[in-house]
Amino acid sequence: MDITSVGFYIFTGIVLLIYWNLPQKYQWKLLLAAGAVFYCLNAHPATIVYLAFSVVTVYYAVCYFERTGEQAKKSQEAAAGRRRVLILTLAANAGLLIVLKYTNLGVHTWNRLFSGRGIILNEVHWLEPLAVSFYTLQLIAYLLDCYWGVAPAEKNVFRLALFASYFPQMVSGPISRYSEIGSQLFEKHDIDYDRVVHGLKCIAWGLLKKMAVSNRVAVVVNAMWAEPDVYSGFYIWIAAAGFVIQLYTDFSGCMDIVLGVSECFGIYLPENFRAPLLSKTIQEFWQRWHITLGGWLRDYIMNPLSKSEAMVSLGKKCREKFGKKKGKQIPVYLSMFAVWFLMGLWHGDSWSFVAQGLWFWLVIVLGQMMKGIFATWKKKLHISDKNFAWQMFQIVRTFLVFTVGSLFFRADSLLDAFHRIGLSTQMKFSFGVFKDFAHLCYSSDLGGKPGLLVAAVSFLLIAAVDVCIYMKSDRVFRFFERHRVIRWAGYYALVFLLILSLDIRAQEFLYAQF
């Protein structure tokens, strides 16, 4: 059930109408039932047992932490028991995710390394669960929060199940914390006109991104990607840059729809995008792109790893050998390496995803190592951070760096990614290929030249709104609120652009596979 489909909005509308007319004690139960139905409509019903396993194991673990919290402060044996329960529960849930998602990565790697010895493993085809990467990370975060004593244990297993299976965010996230949405899920929510209207605006904005831009750009990108030997040279990078636009409007559009649907229920999910394409550094980019995943990796991987005994000990040895400054940086870079390795691996069962993560790690580490040199160059060239040309250069540079990473994301394999990079070095121009490319851009699959115009206008609107978000300026939004004629003209234009996009072939959300 795609969240741009009529079926999804009929399903959501029915749930909302019932939800608003139920007493508080039944509202969350309806959401739990809706989550179960939504899951079964979008995945094999039998795979809900994976979700149930994760919920039950985490539930019993956090209840155990709650019971033994005071004992652990006084008894080393009780503290050791809590650690054992934590490790077992983490291993069970992370192990299940690894088996379901990465078994074939291991199979393919083994076959490539040992094919000459005649030891060939067959692929394993599991029944695919829905949103396993998202709900597993949510439950692991809750497990660790309870272990650290920063979150209370949920005494009702069905309430915890709702936290893991709240249906709007099961599509593609965001990765929520129990502290962010836990209480909201169980509060009384009546129909609220202003809240629902704002939620519908978010949904419409997300649909514009997905239908008017992403679906159209996907047609061009997919056609170019299917023929790398034809669209070689700089066309490789045009396709990769197009994929960045497709990915951004696809994923951020999905988040707008999800946040809008949830807002209609009175539940506010965490923000996942904040105008990332205007970032001036790749580090800033990842603070604005998939924000909840980055925050999860920072709080539950980076920080614990940096504070671990092994890293503290390594830091002392590095400071003694390399000096205070360099010795301090080495453990940080190693912790970042683990974070970016896992960031890449989380995205899929291919080494190309890992290469994408390590590419960003390399760029960030090199940037930090050369920070002093860059500062000296800027001073000698009299470059000010407030200079508009310099800011534009930074934005374009960051976009190009992310484009390189996106090529690894889009590639079918690591070898395919390097093959395309090799093809991109071919400096040739063919008027016939250019004509084919131009024909792609206004083909009937995009709606012809009017379709290209719709995509361009829609993207310019999205870019304008992102500029306002990045600049933290609400003057444009207040202007629309004050002038009714202009506001309603904008609404009609938005609806018109969506209507013109209805006949474009729908593309699956890129993050729906997770």
Question: Is 293 a domain residue?
Answer: yes
Q: Of 38-42, 54-58, 490-494, which gets the smallest average pLDDT? A: 490-494
In a domain? residue 134: yes
Q: How far apart are CA 200 and CA 285, in angstroms?
A: 28
Domains: count for the chain: 3
- Note whether 215 and 151 are same-domain residues: no
Of 191, 206, 228, which residue is a domain's last? 191
Instruction: Pick the most confident of 52-56, 99-103, 480-484.
Output: 52-56
Instruction: Convert the pLDDT of each residue in 100-137 to its tens digit.
Output: 999 988 888 888 888 767 778 888 888 888 889 999 99
Closest CA to 248 of 216, 273, 267: 273
pLDDT at 26 over 90: yes
Q: Residue 507: helix, strand or coil by DSSP?
A: coil
The reply to whether 61 and 145 lie within a common domain is yes
Of residues 478 and 276, which shows the higher confidence score? 276
174, 49: one domain: yes
pLDDT bucket at 442, cuts 50 / 70 / 90: confident
State whether 166 and 196 are in the same domain.
no
Q: Which two three-digit tokens encode residue 289?
A: 């792109």
Q: Write out the residue range of the structural domain in which residue 219 sits.
A: 192-273+413-514
User: Do 330 and 247 belong together in one domain?
Assistant: no
| CA 215/CA 253 separation, integer angstroms | 11
Q: How many residues does the chain have?
A: 514
Give the burial string for 338-352 (b: 16+ CB within 10 Å, else e). ebbeebbbbbbbbbb
Residue 446 clears pLDDT 70, i.e. is over it: yes
**360, 375, 410 — which closes off a domain?**
410
- Same structural domain for residues 53 and 151? yes
Query: What residues contact residue 49 under an 8 Å CB cut-off, 6+ apart?
Result: none
CB 87 within 8 A of CB 182: no
SS3 1: coil
86/83 Cα distance (integer angstroms)? 5
For residues 184 and 222, membership in a common domain is answered with no
Q: What is the pLDDT of residue 514?
A: 55
* CB-based contact 98:124 (threshold 8 Å): no
- pLDDT level of residue 230 (50, 70, 90 thresholds): confident
| Residue 252, in any domain of the structure | yes
pLDDT the model gives residue 4: 86
Residues 304 and 373 in one domain: yes
Separation CA 487–CA 501 (nearest Å): 22
Pair of tokens at residue 43: 């995945």
Q: What is the mean pLDDT of residues 262-282?
A: 95
Residues 44 and 90 in one domain: yes
Six token digits for residue 408:
């690894």
234 assigned to some structural domain: yes
In this predicted structure, the answer to whether residue 250 has a pLDDT above a threshold of 90 is: yes
Q: What is the reported pLDDT for 364?
A: 94
**Least confident residue range of 38-42, 48-52, 474-478:** 474-478
Q: What residues have CB less than 8 Å from 288, skipping those under 6 apart?
A: 273, 274, 275, 276, 279
Name the percent of the chain lying above pLDDT 90: 58
d(Cα 257, Cα 264) in Å, to the nearest integer?
11
Q: What is the pLDDT of residues 482-504, one digit of tens each?
A: 777 888 888 888 888 888 888 87
**1 inside domain:** no
Q: Which residues pair with 273 in a beta bridge?
A: 289
Give 23 or 512, the one with higher predicted confidence.
Answer: 23
Band of residue 280 on the pLDDT scale cut at 50, 70, 90:
very high
Contacts of 487 (CB under 8 A, 6+ apart): 480, 481
pLDDT for 503 = 80
- Model confidence at 408: pLDDT above 90: yes
Cβ 272 vs Cβ 174: under 8 Å: yes
The kind and range of the H/E element at 94 are: helix 76-114
pLDDT, position 68: 87
| 452 within some domain | yes
AA identity, residue 173: G
Determine the Cα angle at 207 with ends 202 and 437, to 5°: 140
Asked which of 362, 379, 410 is the last residue of a domain, the reply is 410
Residues 377 and 435 in one domain: no
- Tell me the pLDDT tens digit for each residue of 314-340: 888 888 888 877 788 888 899 999 999
445 and 468 belong to one structural domain:
yes
Residue 474 inside a domain? The answer is yes
Q: Quick one: 369 and 298 in the same domain? A: yes
The pLDDT tens digits of the residues spanning 141-172 come to 999 999 999 889 999 999 999 999 999 998 88
CA dihedral (219, 220, 225, 227) in degrees, to 10, reads: 110
Q: Using CA atoms, how far apart are residues 171 and 141, in angstroms rounded to an integer?
A: 19
The model's confidence at residue 512, banded by pLDDT at 50, 70 and 90, is low
Whole-number average pLDDT of the chain: 89
DSSP string, 237-282: HHHHHHHHHHHHHHHHHHHHHHHHHHHHTT--PPP-BS-GGG-SSH
- pLDDT score of 407 more than 60: yes
* pLDDT for position 513: 55
Confidence of residue 35 (pLDDT cuts 50, 70, 90): very high
pLDDT band at 188 (very low <50, low <70, confident <90, very high): very high
Q: What is the mean pLDDT of residues 172-198?
A: 92
Cis omega before residue 23 (within 30°)? Answer: no
Residue 494 lies in a domain: yes
